[in-house]
Structure 1
Amino acid sequence: MNQAIETSAAPDYPQLLGHPRPLWMLFMTEFWERFAFYSVSWALALYIVAQFFHGDPSGQAWASGIFGAYTALIYGTGIFGGWVADKLIGYQRTILLGAAVMAAGLFTLMLPQRTMLLLGLALVIVGDGLFKPNISSMVGQLYARDDERRDRGFTLFYMGINAGAFVAPLFTGWLASYFTDTPMEQNYRVVFLAAGVGMLLSLLWFWFGRRQLKGVGRPAPGAESRLRVLWVLLGVIVAVPAVYYLLSSVGPGGLQWLLGLLFVAVAAMLLVEAARHDRVQTHRVLAMLIIFAFNVLFWMFYYQLGTSFNFLAENLVDRKMFGGWVFPVGWFQSVSPLAIIVLAPLVTLVWAWLSKRRCEPSIPRKFGLGLIFNALGFAVLVYALARLLSSAGLIPFWPLAMCYVMQTVGELCLSPIGLSMVTKLAPPRLVGVAMGGWFMSLAVGGNLSGLVASRISGVSGMTAASALSGFTFSFWLLAGAGLLLLLISPLINKLMHGVR
């Protein structure tokens, strides 16, 4: 079964709760992968400052740069993972190989040397590059192209992502705080251990559940040889040192140029393939690429959650609660996924209700709303830093929590819709590459987020003044981009030729 057939007509799956049964297997596979990913995400920058700078705030800038580069490469390598699945070994084998490599990297992070930190991150990056775009692409292959349940299926899948993201900081944060008689950098290594176990569970879940897929995601005819898997594994062995070099020597600035060139290359591949079809497919790819550009801006500021928001919570937020209990920094990372778990079903129902009345916002309008809600989150922080700063130099607890909730509303307008958009607008033979292009836009935004956070922290660490300045800039750029996208939405809708 080739890719074009898979995306236009899906197998007749047994249904569970109104969706193909394999959706729920993919849901849990993604749950455990996201548990592993977000365990590392909340702890990484804090661990770097604690372990390698002995808690000195001057380490915030380097930690932010590493976090941004790590986030960027996690998503940037997705284009290669999509190509491996499309052209070499199929989706199922690519996912399994990526899960194994990622698990090895997570366990490597436990070793307390800077070299091992970067090697572990390199393994995680390469493994997740193989895993992440292909698990998302397989969700699209469960539905026919014109199946009206597709967007709702992606939103449910997105709840799996955020269920893992919600549990990870709470559980691993508790694990770290439980070992209270050890230095904090050791506590963070317990977090990495739990992440590795979570990734092994993801691997096992997909290994035993893949029979439900009825052949979807298997290698194409003529590509079944296991020798191809060996060649891909050799490619992984080459890729890991290359990624290590990018983390250790190239730095976020040089990486931004590389990511930009890769993004242009992906765009060119998609446009060339679209031109082989017809004018309609070319227009659809152009619409997709325009939305990708706005997607960069959303994630450039959203990913402050792993850097500047963490440093804000640690140093500038009053976290004292009832009875003298102090709210853990890492637990802020669970606010957004909790809000998504609560709000995602409501948003799904709203889109369905509006769809029945033929007034559901189009894809570009949803993206514009996403950018504006992200901007409103920063507006809350700007207000708090300008008006609510105490004599002790701290802002209240609620503005940062409210910022996460506002960003979550924006994320629900944008991210699950983006995954579905790619499967609807991409050329049928390059759905995996197009999904890699989607994650490439996240990569560019992720790396820029590290550069922004490094600028906010400066050489001596974040202050209330530097945070106010940086977050004010963030608000205006996001709000302006959101309004612009709403204004040009009719043009983008025309390019999409009826896809909504």
Structure 2
Amino acid sequence: MWKRHPRALPFLFFSEMWERFGFYLLLGIFTFYLKDATGGFGMDEKESASLYGTFIALIYFTPFLGGLLADRKMGYCNAIIIGGLLMGVGYCLMSVRSVPMLYLAMTLIIIGNGFFKPNISTLLGNVYSTPEYQDKKDEGYNIFYMGINLGAFICNFFGAALYTTIGWGAAFIAAGVGMFLGVIIFVIGMRHYKSFDTRKPLKQGDMSMSKIFGLVVLPALVFGAVGYLIKGADGAIFDSSSTDAFIFACVPVAVFFIALLLRSPKEERRPMAALLSIFAVVILFWAIFKQNGSALNTWASRYTERHVDGTTGTVLNALKLTETIPYKKDSVTLLDNQFRKIKENGTEVKGLDYPSYFKNMNLAETPLKEGDQVKAWAPSLSQSINPFWVIVLTPLLVAFFTWLRRKGKEPSTPSKIALGLLVSAMSVLVMIFAVKAGNNGAEKVSIWWLVGSYGIITIGELFLSPMGLSLVSKLSPVRITSLMMGGWFLAISIGNKLSGILSSKWDEYTNKESYFWLNFVLLFGAALFLFAILKWLNRVMKEKGVV
């Protein structure tokens, strides 16, 4: 596999694989850790989902700034190493159970990701810029993308084994070790890509760093601080103080992009309007997709049949991938060994009824008495379903589009994004049927509902995510390509925060079917809007001479 590619590729592949190992290990257990009263912080569903949303929103905002700093000041290699070290330290600090330390760790991870994530991809592109390897660039990125998903797939098995046997701290330290391994591999391979670490000087029409900070970053920080400090009648204005801060911070950024559109030359206005339209609708895709670490984690933990016995139970137990559920006759139990806080008449009480494992078990064949233990696979393992589907489906979709291209029937880039939204909406219908199958939580349901839902939305992801980056490069005016790429990341960031807001409402929906119907309406509405303007988008693409 490596022979036909630059010698830099395996080093960048494994650096990214280990970085994603640490990152997705953290995300897979993050909300479980926040909700755990004995080893974590005892947050309820609303608090944990809101903080999760803010965290991943900021994680996807900082790559814009980190990319600009690397482009013009630091260089890619320095940014990658610094970013990796900051993330590794942040993961390790997560093991310290302290609120100030939690926020410090999150801050280091957010900043570190901003330096690491955009620049390792850019460096890979530079490596393939030589005539010898230019024609292999797409294949190189496909191999690199496999590294991302390989790390995301395997990390959850390590994380589950560690937090069920030793504790949360061990899992977070493992994430840090993975990140440090990625940095070490990157440094070892430096000789193969050091010559491609070139800075981009400011060109005519480019916006200077000081201007970007003055017009975008500083106003966002000021508005964010104001949003955090202003209090509504019930405390927060929208959902929580962190949500208020994020929404307020987005206001000057949105105003900046609108002003950029209105002040642009006439020939640039239609392509920019097309991009901003797509940015607006893909926010809703990320709002649903990124619930994998919050609402769908909750579904895996509390509503999915996870108890294991026989050979499967023996193997998973030997691998330390199970957790223990105590049997209580004629009662339901907390399914993830975590306490939740709910308010009843103004008083906080512990516990909430969820469907019991024991309703699904044949107690005539497997008699249990009070206090007996039942083994269940660790719910964070469900986070490996999406990367599994990415690994399986990516080659198939690449081959499918290659076949269509040869026949001259390949859809345009906007058409692929619209189809991605529509397919993603279908994945939510699977969860609606899952709620029906479990009689709205009266019984646990099969893991195959989650497998099916993740499989469908992964197809939507592969239609939409790479196509969005491609569209930005095709439609952006050359003078502001980096800024428009920042707009794409901003859309992802806003969508990630919205995912946390939606997930924080989980417990307010007695009928979970209604929760998933809301998600379906949001995605289906976004798809309909994009299909409605598809002819105009395709016309703009043709005017630019791209497809």
User: Given residue 519 of structure 2, which amino acid in structure 1 is its aligned partner?
Assistant: S
Which has the larger displacement, 435-444 or 415-424? 415-424
The 8 Å contact of residues 79 and 435 in structure 1, kept in 2 or not, is answered as yes
Which residue does the alignment assign to 2:249?
258
Check the 8 A contact 1:30/1:160 in 2, yes or no: yes
**How far apart are the structure 2 equivalents of 1:349 and 1:469?**
38
2:176 aligns with one of 196, 217, 221 = 196
1:291 aligns with 2:278: yes
1:168 aligns with 2:155: yes
Return the match for 1:490 from 530, 535, 540.
535
Matches of residues 315-464 of structure 1 in structure 2 within 5 Å?
315-323=302-310, 325-389=375-439, 392-428=442-478, 430-458=480-508
1:137 matched to 2:128? The reply is: no
Change (3 A) 1:192 1:260: farther
Contact kept, 8 Å, 1:152 with 1:348, in 2: the verdict is no
Q: CA offsets per residue over residues 364-412 of structure 1, 9 Å max, x none?
A: 1111121122211110111121243388432332212211111111111
SS of match in other structure, 1:321:
coil
Quick check: 2:45–2:506 contact (8 Å CA) kept in 1?
no
Contact 2:223 2:252 in 1 (8 A): no
User: Which structure has the larger Rg over C-alpha atoms?
Assistant: 2
Question: 1:39-54 maps to which residues of 2 (within 5 A)?
Answer: 39-51=25-37
Instruction: Note the alpha carbon deviations across 1:216-261, whole angstroms, 9 max, x for none.
Output: 2333479xxxxxxxxxxxxxxx9xx999989997411331231343
> For this pair of structures, how many residues does the alignment match?
452
The partner residue of 2:198 within 218, 236, 239 is 218
Q: Kindly indicate whether the alpha-carbon contact (under 8 Å) linking 2:476 and 2:484 is maintained by their aligned counterparts in 1.
A: yes
**Which moved further from structure 2: 212-221 or 330-339?**
212-221
Amino acid at match of 1:383: F
Residues 243 and 271 of structure 1: CA distance in aligned 2, closer, same or farther (over 3 Å): closer
Q: Is contact 1:69-1:247 (8 Å) kept?
A: no
Aligned: 1:499 with 2:499: no
Match of 1:98 in 2: 83
Distance 1:265 1:91, change over 3 A: farther
CA gap 1:434/1:200 in 2 versus in 1, 3 angstroms: farther
Partner of 1:74: 59
Cα distance in 2 for residues equivalent to 1:192 and 1:267: 41
Residue type of the alignment partner of 2:546: V
2:420–2:462 Cα contact (<8 Å) kept: yes
AA aligned opposite 2:491:
S
Query: How many angstroms apart in 1 are the aligned matches of 2:376 and 2:290?
Result: 24
- Cα deviations across residues 167-209 of structure 1 (Å, max 9, x unaligned)? 1112221222333xxxxxxx22211101111111222222232
Moved more, 187-196 or 243-252: 243-252
Structure holding more helix per residue = 1
- 1:156 aligns to what? 143
Structure 2: tracts of 5 or more residues without a match: 203-217, 230-240, 314-374
Q: Is the 8 A contact 1:91 1:217 kept in 2?
A: yes
Deviates further, 441-450 or 428-437: 428-437
Identity in percent: 34
Alignment check: 8 A CA contact 2:224 2:247 kept: no
| Whole-Å separation in 2 of the counterparts to 1:36 and 1:243 | 32
SS in 2 for 1:359: coil
Q: Match of 1:118?
A: 103
Note if contact 1:77-1:125 (Cα within 8 Å) is conserved in structure 2: yes
Q: Are 1:313 and 2:300 matched, yes or no? A: yes
2:522 is the counterpart of 1:472:
no
1:69, distance to aligned residue in structure 2 (A): 0.2
Q: Which amino acid aligns with 1:262?
A: V
Aligned residue for 1:326, secondary structure, equals: strand
TM-score (normalizing by structure 1): 0.81
426 and 160 in structure 1: CA distance in 2 versus 1, 3 angstrom threshold: farther
Match of 1:36 in 2: 22
Instruction: State the 1:309 CA deviation.
Output: 0.9
Taking a change above 3 Å as real, the CA distance of residues 171 and 393 of structure 1, as seen in their structure-2 partners, is same
Asked whether the equivalents of residues 227 and 247 of structure 2 are also in contact (C-alpha less than 8 Å), the reply is no
- Structure 2: how far apart are the matches of 1:491 and 1:17? 44
Segments of structure 1 that go 5 or more residues without pairing to the other structure are 1-14, 180-186, 223-237
Paired with 1:198 and 1:351, the residues of 2 have a C-alpha distance of 35
Structure 2 Cα separation of the partners of residues 191 and 308 of structure 1? 21
Cα offset, 1:432, TM superposition: 4.2
* Residues 401, 243 of structure 1: alpha-carbon distance in 2 compared, 3 angstrom cutoff: farther
Structure-2-length-normalised TM-score: 0.75
State the alpha-carbon separation in 1 of the partners of residues 196 and 47 from structure 2.
43
Q: Is the deviation greater in 483-492 or in 349-358?
A: 483-492
